[in-house]
Amino acid sequence: MKIAVIGGGIVGLSSAYALASRGGDVVVCEQGSIGSGSTERSVGGIRAQFSTPVNIDLSLESIPVWESFEERFGVDIEYRRTGYLFLGRNEETVQALEETVRLQRERGVPSELLEAGEIGRYCSGVRTEQFTAGSYSPTDGFVDPHLALGGYATACADAGVEIRTNEPVIDVLESTDGDRIVGVETATDRLEADFVVNAAGPWAGRVASIAGIELPIVPTRRQVAIVAPEEPVPEGDPLTVDLESGTYFRPERDGDALVGGNCPADSDRDDPRADPDTYGKSADFEWTAAALETVSRWTTRFGPDTRVKRGWAGLYAVTPDNHAIVEETSPGFITAGGFSGHGFQHAPATGELVAELVFDGAISLVDGSALSSDRFDRDEDRTERNVV
C-alpha cells in the first residue's frame, strides 16, 4: 500500500509512523522543513479537560503515548504534569464547567469542580474573589514540542518512511475517470499512491481545494509571550485559564511565565483569517500589552515590573465547531486537519485514526461521526467550549 502524506508536522509524522507500522509504503512531502508550520510554534499542551466526548477520547487515546514516549521513541520530551486550571465567573460559564467535569469524570478523567475558595490551593496568584468556580485535573500538562517532533521524525525514518523536505505539493492527482485520488505532483516529482493524506495544518483547506474539495478549515493567528513576571510563577503551578477573558498563563523555567490567549487588542479579532504563507510570526506589541494587562487584573503576578522576554505567533487551523476533520473525504483522499489548536496533543491518536481509515476502511478508536465533515450538514451542536 503506497501512501503520500502531505505535511511534515506532528500530525503528518504521527500518521506516517502509524501507517508504516502497519506495513504501508509511506512518503511524506513537506514544503519547508520538518515542523515548520504550526508544530514549531506550539506550546505543547497536553490535556483531557475538553467539553465534548470525542475530544476527551482523543486525549485519552493520546496521553498513554506521551506518558511512554521515551520508552517508545528513546526521547525525553520533558513531560511536566502540573495540571490545567479553568476559571469561571458568570453563571453560564460555571454551569458549563459543571457539565464538562461531569462528562470528563464519566469518561475516566480525574478532573474536579472547585469552589472559589479552593482555587488558591492550586494557583496562589489568582485573585479568587473574582471567580465563582473552577475545574482542575492533575494529569494535564505540557511537553517540549520540538523534542516530540524529533522523536517522531526519527521513528518514521527507522520505520522506512521517506521524508522529503522542501518538496511542496502543487497538485493532487485523480484517476482517468475522476472517481479516485491516485497520487500527488510535487515541484520535482510525480508520486502515485493508493491514498493521499492531507495533514497540511494551516494549509489543509488549500490542499483540499486543489483536490476539488471545500472544507471549512480556516488558518487563524494566535499569539504568546514569554515574560519575567513581577512575582515569579512556581514551576509546579498549573496552566491557568480565565474562560471569560480568554487569557491564560503557565509556568516556564526559573519563575518565568508563558502568557497567551485572546484579548480585546488581538490584531486579528475582527478578521481572524491569516495567510499561512505571509502571516506575521512575531507577537504584536499591542497584543502583548493588552494580554499582560488582562492577566494582571485576575492574578497578582503580572504587575508593572513584569518584563517581556520574547514572543511569537502561530496558526491554529480552525473549524466552525472547534473539532478536527478526520475522514476519507473522497475516495483515496484522507483529511486529518482542522484541529483548532488541539492537533499537537491529539497527534498520537490521529495517526492511529488515519491508519484505520487506510487499512480498515473506517474509524473505530473514537466516534468517527463526530470528526466527519458531513456533521456540518447535520443539526447538531458539538462545539468545543474549552478552547485555549
Residue where the block lists cell 492527482: 173
Longest dimension (CA), the chain: 67
For residues 226 and 296, state if they share a domain. yes
Q: What is the DSSP string of 197-222?
A: EE--GGGHHHHHHHTT-----EEEEE
Claim to verify: residue 212 and residue 226 sit in the same structural domain? no
Same domain for 253 and 167, yes or no, is no
Q: Where does a domain end: 318, 345, 368?
A: 318
Residue type for position 72: R
Query: How many CB atoms lie under 10 A from the CB of residue 148?
Result: 30
Q: Which structural domain, as residue segments, surrounds residue 199? A: 2-65+145-216+320-377
Among 318, 347, 367, where does a domain finish? 318
Residue 77 within any structural domain of the chain: no
Same domain, 113 and 204: no
pLDDT of res. 386: 83
- Per the document, the length of the chain is 388
- Asked if residue 132 and residue 162 are part of one domain, the reply reads no
Q: How far apart are the first and last CA of the chain?
A: 38
Asked if residue 234 and residue 252 are part of one domain, the reply reads yes
Residue 384 lies in a domain: no
Helix, strand, coil shares, percent, the chain, to 5: 30, 25, 45
pTM of the predicted protein model: 0.95
Count of structural domains, the chain: 2
Residues 369 and 264 in one domain: no
Q: What letter would DSSP give residue 238?
A: P
Q: Give the closest residue to 255 by CA, choosing from 276, 294, 229, 289.
A: 229
Q: Is position 245 within any domain?
A: yes
176 and 295 together in one domain: no
pLDDT number for residue 266? 47
pLDDT confidence of residue 269: 45
Point out the domain boundary residue: 296, 318, 340.
Answer: 318
Predicted pLDDT at 263: 63
Domain-located, residue 385: no
How much is the pLDDT for 387?
84
174, 283: one domain: no
The domain that holds 113 is classified in CATH as 3.30.9.10
158 in the same domain as 29 = yes
What pLDDT was estimated at residue 267?
44
3-class DSSP state of 305: coil
Residue 297 maps to a domain = yes
DSSP labels for 264-284?
Answer: TT-TTSSS-B--TTT---SPP
CB hemisphere CA count around 15 (13 angstroms): 37
What is the pLDDT, as a whole number, of residue 271?
52
Query: Is 72 part of any domain?
Result: no
**136 lies in some domain:** yes
Which secondary-structure segment (H or E) carries 65? helix 53-67
Q: What is the mean pLDDT of each run of 10 residues along the chain (388 residues)?
A: 98 98 98 94 96 98 98 97 97 95 98 96 95 97 97 98 98 93 96 98 97 96 97 97 96 96 56 83 95 97 97 96 97 98 97 98 97 88 83
Do 366 and 335 have their domain in common? yes
Does 308 lie in the same domain as 262? yes
Say if 38 falls within a structural domain. yes
**For the domain that residue 328 is a member of, what is the CATH number?**
3.50.50.60
Q: State phi, psi for 308 to the nearest 5 degrees.
A: -85, 125
